[in-house]
Amino acid sequence: MEKVKIGVLKCGNIGTAPLFEFLLDELADRKDIIVRCVATGSKMVAEDVKDALSSILKFDPNLLIFISPNPAVQGPAKAREILLKNKIPIMIISDATGKRLKEEFEKLGIGYIIVMGDPLIGARREFLDPTEMAIFNSDIIKVLAITGVYKIIFQEIDRLIHGYKADLNPKLPTLIIDADNIRDQSDFKNPYAKAKAMAAYEMLKSVDKINNRACFTEKVKEKYISLVACAHEIARMAARLAEEAREIEKREDTLVRRPHSKKGKPKIKDKLMLSPTLDEKTYQKWLMTTKKETTTRD
């Protein structure tokens, strides 16, 4: 396969959704993939999702990525139902609510990446307007980017892409991203920077908990307004702490960057003034794993 077609279906919003497709091709010059996204906006109604799904299926993707919060609700459930009738490899990216579907996904052969620290927004009309919504997303994006969560995700997709390009049958991810993954998989060189990144991520988990209470449990206005306002303040501090972590790595000129090559291969660098080089190790590992998996699967 020369060019891999990536279909993305988004319904509703989570922190990994808004910039997802750009994570795969940040320089807009990658020759080995074609990306198409269809989205239903903030709604997750079954009918809309169904319609959007039929639209993305017409694109005839080699991989279909389904991004939504709360995959247990009607819309996403409907989508899975339809998707399973197709032969396309499917993977789901979701938030903490998706964790309880883990086993179902596995049984159905659906890949998944569950981001435990991708919090619910403070969706109360007294508080959330489009501006507050955007600011909250800005903060979440910053934390997920800096902590390396986005990196873990795009590397998983890239692993699949390179598998498909080599006509292999790579194993779909079954990944639950928590603070441990930041500890083990992020690129921080300084251990305090890493601790700050983990802290930022843990703070997002706290945001999620508070917003869930504010959106679904508290009924009295005085209570839930305070709670959503409080949760968004934590998100703001998390973004700031994440930024502190990144600034440390700048200060040492040890900040790792991982641009894609034009051919989509993983490149890597640290010192700012140097050019990136091929991350051959990662690349070969991907192909290796894929091969082994392939053998065991067919």
With respect to a copy of itself, which residue has the nearer C-beta, 44 or 168? 44
User: Does position 95 bind a copy of itself by CB under 8 A?
Assistant: no
- Count residues contacting a copy of itself (CB under 8 A)? 107
Indicate the residue type of 13.
Answer: N
Say how far apart CA 135 and CA 268 lie, in whole Å.
31
Instruction: Indicate which single residue of 87, 103, 191, 298 sits in contact with a copy of itself (rule: CB under 8 A).
Output: 191
Site string for a copy of itself, 158-187 (x = CB under 8 A): ---------------------xx--x----
128 scored as a contact of a copy of itself (CB under 8 A) = yes
Residue 131 binds a copy of itself, judged by CB under 8 A = yes
Q: Which of 48, 104, 270, 293 binds a copy of itself (CB under 8 A)?
A: 48
Smallest gap from Cβ 287 to a copy of itself, in A, equals: 21
Is residue 23 at the binding interface for a copy of itself, with CB under 8 A as the rule?
A: yes
**Does residue 51 belong to the site contacting a copy of itself (CB under 8 A)?**
yes
Residue 212, CA distances (Å) to 16, 120, 158 in order? 19, 7, 33
Say if residues 24 and 30 touch (Cβ distance below 8 Å): yes
- Choice from 114, 227, 264, 290 touching a copy of itself (CB under 8 A): 227
Does 142 engage in binding with a copy of itself (CB under 8 A)?
Answer: yes
Tell me the closest approach of the beta carbon of residue 257 to a copy of itself, in angstroms. Answer: 4
Q: Kindly tell me which residue out of 105, 150, 164, 286 binds a copy of itself, with binding defined by CB under 8 A.
A: 150
**Of 29 and 106, which has the nearer Cβ to a copy of itself?**
29
Contact between 94 and a copy of itself by CB under 8 A: the answer reads no
Span near a copy of itself by CB under 8 A; candidates 21-29, 82-90, 98-106, 288-296:
21-29
Choose the binding region for a copy of itself from 27-35, 103-111, 169-177, 283-291 (rule: CB under 8 A).
Answer: 27-35
89 binds a copy of itself (CB under 8 A): no
Residue 6 to residue 209: CA distance in whole angstroms: 33
Give the integer Cα–Cα distance in Å for 230 and 238.
Answer: 13
What H or E segment, with its residue span, contains residue 174?
strand 174-177
CA atoms within 13 A on the CB side of 157: 31
Please list, residue by residue across 81-116, b when 16 or more beta carbons sit within 10 angstroms of its beta carbon and e when fewer do: eebeeeebbbbbbbbbbbeebeeebeeeebbbbbbb
The residue within the footprint of a copy of itself, chosen from 145, 166, 175, 176 (CB under 8 A), is 145
Give 149's DSSP letter.
H
Contact set for a copy of itself, span 107-126 (CB under 8 A) = 123, 125-126
Query: In this structure, what is the dihedral angle of CA atoms 231, 232, 233, 237, given to the nearest 10 degrees?
Result: 100
**Terminal alpha carbon distance of the chain:** 19
Instruction: Find the radius of gyration of the CA atoms of the chain.
Output: 19
* 271 scored as a contact of a copy of itself (CB under 8 A): yes
Q: What does the chain come to in residues? A: 298
Task: Determine which residue in the list 1, 27, 82, 84 makes contact with a copy of itself, applying CB under 8 A.
Answer: 27
Q: Quick check: 71 binds a copy of itself (CB under 8 A)? A: no
The single residue among 36, 99, 265, 291 that binds a copy of itself, judged by CB under 8 A, is 36
d(CA 117, CA 179): 8
How far apart CA 260 and CA 23 sit, in angstroms, is 9
